[in-house]
Chains A and B, each alone.
Chain A
Amino acid sequence: MIGKEMCQDILDKALRVSNALDADFYLSSQEQGLTRFAGNSIHQNVSHSDAQLHIRAVSGRRLGRAVTNDLSDAGIAKAVGQAEHNASLMPEDPDFQGLPDPADQAAPTNNTDSHDPPTASYSPEERAQAVGIVCSKAASSGLKAYGACRTGTQEIAVASTRGAKNYHVATFAGLLTTVMSDSSSGWSKGGSWRIADLNPQALAEEATDKALRGENPHDIEPGEYAVVLDHYAVDDILGALSLYGMGAQAVQERRSWMNGLEREGAMSPSVSIWDDGQDPSGWPVPFDAEGVPRQKAAIVLDGVIGGPVHNSYTAGKEGRTSTGHQVNFTGAPYATNLFMKPGDQTVDELIASTKRGLYITRFHYTRLSHNKGCVMTGMTRDGTFLIEDGRISHPVKNLRFTQSYVEALAGVEGISRNTKLILSEVGFATRVPALKLASFNFTGVTV
């Protein structure tokens, strides 16, 4: 971990050597330990760290960039000079309205609530112990566990010639496992910024139980089924809707699923989805790579489609201010801290209300088939069961689906009251309930 003072020192050095009239500097640093296991043994175990200084230099309506992990005085000066030179080479971009101005933004937060010292100092031995709990549980059931346990610290800091100055440090912890028999598999995944929130024993039992109940799956015909989606599958839906259309660049280029649906009641009135980088019940990242505080953004409110999230460039094109969603140093704005409004049922009640349908643990390898409606294809995985007369009757083989996620969420018939925080390895976080959907289109099965 670099630390707040050192981060600011690096940014101050960059500011001092900058000759651009306008420039901003984004420093990102990560330390991570990750322990992988396969067949009830640790087979890969790594520790790594890196820090990168991202530089944007403005010349008129031109924006040059450079990135370096050489944080020596000479390395910083070289990269700053490179960014300035790059800016001088570019043609003017009339849509570039300049770097975000702190005076135009909501007050920056000093949210440090997502840094947990025990998580930051979690050792390789402690990760091995957590993994050992999972492997022991699987082995005691005659099964094999596969997965990963990761812990670490991430720092981001921003400074600009316009006076932006911010620093945030967060910890992360994740434990996921697939427990397998010869004919089945079960899945569980826990994530938080506090290692104490992870319960390896409970995660081991969840995945092992699914694997045991999933043994000897029956054949199943493809077709339309009502589905009860575990939280993991719902996470995939929100992730796809974010990737393929919650950002303003996609909307402005008219390739988003949102296009034509804004202010329309395209989803069930029980569906509300929002992005909130400040909420400590998620994985908070209080400002973006431009230093703009994350605004809470209503993506879907009571089934009605809202607007996309912005960075300063896409906002500038519409004469508005950024919502603070420039996630990476380059590229489009994305919603990466998503929440879905919970309901008032238990997962068992969702199943009990289903005459005939499928219970889906999670989806695998989902990809966009068509932009309109966010039509996705993918597979079920790690626990797929037939529901008959309100109860799970037996496991079934995995199915391929081809389904509009927007249309799927128009058919929400039930929402669980409990939600789960699901962290991806790349910083995407959702807090989601389980769902019951009226219909889901399965187009194939595995052999």
Chain B
Amino acid sequence: METARLKGAGYADVRVVQTEQERYVVRNGAVDTLSMDQSMGFGVRVLVDGVWGFASSRDFSASEVDRIAGLAIQVAKASRLVGLEPANLGSPVTSVGSYTTPISVDPFTISPETKLALLLEVDRGMGSVAGISARQCNLVFIKEQKTFANSQRAHVEQTIYESGGGMQATAVGSGEVQRRSYPESHGRMQGCAGWEYITRMDLPGNAERIASEAVTLLTADQCPSDITTTLIIGGCQLALQVHESCGHAIELDRVLGSEAAFAGTSFLTTDKLNDFSYGSEHVNMTADSLSAPGMGTYGWDDEGVPSQSTTIVKNGRFVGYLMSRESAATLGMESNGCMRASSWNRIPLIRMTNVSLEPGDWTLDNLIADTDDGIYVDTNKSWSIDDHRYNFQFGTEMGYEIKNGKRGRLLKNCTYTGITPEFWNSCDAVCNRDHWEMWGTPQCGKGQPGQIAHTGHGASPARFRGVRVGVMR
């Protein structure tokens, strides 16, 4: 920061990050991956005359630190060549302190032998079911030690732990390919937590069930084709629905155009803040970075802003964004601490924290009993949404017909499609906290150069009326 200041930076911040990661993958009876990875480096972000520059390195020698600070200044000065309004960061950020993810058991104290034995047991469980053509299970453990300081005298140190695990079984036959996953699809379920998070999943206890369900799906009935019906969406799938149709849509940098050429923009333009019916009265959403084990939980974001909770949708009305210091200032507001960088060599971007659908007051049994005709779906298989976060289509691993208030036959290849605000306005019931779980997305892509973020999403099952279902070929 001193070099940056001497070379003309009006503002500077530095992050030093060391990451340790253990990865275990067992695939079809064999250990596919047993790897310990480490990465360490630093990034320097500067404002010169209100314009940004960033540079980073893995080399901590004094000469390289000076070179990188100077390179960040050079990059910022180049930015000035193509006009920009000077960045306004709003009020100074002067946070000081330390934070460590609350964990019961440090996952790095559990032996690799124990972790491998767990996965091999899971693999044997899936492998005991006839008809499975591929099976995979994995564990991931991350420890990120991060120091952030800025030229406004902020200095925070954090140690973030994450633990994750999951399994997938794929069955092939009868002209079909069907997959089941547990606890989530997309590889694994992950949280800011310790080893206790893994034991709570009871992976071995679910292995045979998951494999059996994959085989059963091969001969299950097809989801009805292109009908409009009532849909009850399980919490696991609904978490991804929240991620794609709310979480990304409320990123203020996206709203302001920063991501327009890559992932797109958002229909939730600033004129809609506090004046738009995002969903029905049953829809309440929050974004918070306080709630471990959600993967968006920390002490301060990568601008040094403290973690906090923000109401996003209140009784259906859109009332909040995910913000950085600079983007918040454009609305005359203060950052709510959502700037996160995936690594020491990436700049922080506005990323989801734990963006969640708040629980309602239904039990799932009562919700199904209250539904004459519909389909229950859960666990994501495919996902796609347009560049305004408006038009979406999702597929799920499994579905069940609902007839006269009872869960009926198993359905495969279920898909549903809709328009985001129409869909959330069709929500007429949300299940209660007993059914609510903090799910998440450990592979959320954004930015150029690309960054992968880990985000949390709490959800319980909810019911939607008049949804278009069964779009396949």
Contacts and interface: CB of A to CB of B under 8 A. Distances in A.
Contact of A69 (B28, B38, B472): B38
Interface string A369-386: 111100101110100000
Contact of A443 (B30, B116, B262, B471): B471
A95 B54 CA distance: 46
Interface stretch (B55-63, B89-97, B314-322, B436-444): B55-63
A366 interface: yes
Interface string A49-91: 1111000000000101111111000000001001100110111
B382 to A, nearest CB: 5
A371 B55 contact: no
Contacts of A128: 78-79, 81-82
Given A44-B347, A367-B383, A447 B33 contact: no
Given A44-B347, A400-B417, A255 B35 contact: no
A36 B345 contact: no
B384 A379 contact: yes
Contacts of A41: 82-85
A32 B167 CA distance: 36
A402 B471 contact: yes
Given A70-B40, A123-B78, A446-B386, A180 B56 contact: no
B88 interface: no
Interface stretch (B68-76, B284-292, B365-373, B455-463): B68-76
Interface in A420-447: 425-426, 441, 443-447
Contacts of A37: 82
A93 B38 contact: no
Interface residues of A, number: 91
B39 to A, nearest CB: 5
Contact of B75 (A46, A87, A404): A46
A47 B71 CA distance: 8
B81 A42 contact: yes
B332 interface: no
Nearest to A253: B134
Contacts of A95: 30
Interface in B256-271: 256-258, 260-262, 264
Interface in A349-371: 364-371
Of listed B30, B31, B120, B384, residue having the most chain A CB within 10 A: B384
Nearest to A445: B391
B41 interface: yes
B340 to A, nearest CB: 15
Contact of A129 (B79, B81, B84): B81
10 contacts: A41-B82, A42-B82, A43-B84, A44-B448, A45-B54, A86-B112, A132-B81, A177-B261, A379-B391, A398-B391
Interface of B: 23, 25, 28, 30-41, 43, 51-58, 71-72, 74-79, 81-85, 112-113, 116, 120, 133-134, 170, 172, 175-177, 179, 256-258, 260-262, 264, 345-347, 381-388, 390-391, 393, 395, 413, 415, 417, 419, 448-450, 471-473
Interface of A: 32-52, 62, 64-70, 79, 82-83, 86-87, 89-91, 93-96, 123-125, 127-129, 131-132, 135, 144, 146-148, 150, 176-178, 180, 253-255, 259, 330, 364-372, 375, 377-379, 381, 398, 400, 402-404, 425-426, 441, 443-447
